[in-house]
Amino acid sequence: MSSLIWLMLLSCSTLVISTKNASDGNTRQGKSIFILAGQSNMAGRGGIHAGVWDGYIPLECQSSPKVLRLNSEHKWEEARPPLHRDIDYLKACGIGPGLAFANSVLQKNISIGDIGLVPCAVGGTQISEWRRGSPLYKQLLSRAHAALHDGGIIRAILWYQGESDTLSQEDAKLYKMRLAKLFTDIRSDMKLPKLPVILVALASAEGPYIDEVRKAQLGLDLPNVKCVDAKGMEIGNDGLHLSTKGEVKVGQMMADAFTQFMA
């Protein structure tokens, strides 16, 4: 009898552990889902010339049946650039960091299954436009929920934003607080308190307060947050958006950061 009770307790404890790990995004079963959010350098402006994408797809961003994209109709399809073409649709999209990230993760053989990318970024947006309850915030949560409809695990949020917050000294000063609150709110509303976040420190800016925003990004003190620094990455002719080469490099850096979480 005691042996039977012990086995029942063991079974229950294993179930609780498995459920907890799944909610924290730490299991290795099902599709691995990544939320891509922020503004234009996440949406991708690599290869954009005079408002038109040149169509060049580097080797690091080639499509693969193991990398999927959640389109604007909440349907999974094979991921092909531009990833944000039907999300950030008011401006031309080109190469972003998403596919370079996904392909780099696959090459690292960390056994996380197929990858599902969920584009949510919209160009020209300030962080205040992503606050809890805003249209962008609601869309992110809605798309994240839709991504889980047929199973999978949300592994991380990839965040690249802040260029628009360099225009105002007040916005730059408040950036760190707003960023921390955003990530905390997303984790709370997704019920994923330990959800990893990988953010990018700016390489360029719209205004003069880039140093303040970069300091906030590099100094964000939250658990399970890693920051990769885009400073020095190749910038396109507009002086604001990363080139295709720069986008690929940032995607690979984010993949390196993600593998540190998995380790």
Radius of gyration of the chain from its Cα atoms, rounded to whole angstroms = 19
Catalytic sites, residue numbers = 40, 238, 241
Q: What size, in residues, is the chain?
A: 263
Kindly tell me the sign of the dihedral angle through the C-alpha atoms of 23, 155, 28, 143: positive
C-alpha–C-alpha distance, residues 138 and 186, integer Å:
10
C-alpha–C-alpha distance, residues 107 and 159, integer Å:
22
Three-state SS at 168: coil
**CA 148 vs CA 17, 23, 96, 173: distances in Å:** 20, 12, 23, 36
Residue 246: which H helix or E strand, with range?
Answer: helix 244-262
C-alpha–C-alpha distance, residues 86 and 82, integer Å:
9
C-alpha–C-alpha distance, residues 196 and 224, integer Å:
5
Tell me: cis bond preceding 196? Omega within 30 of 0 counts: no
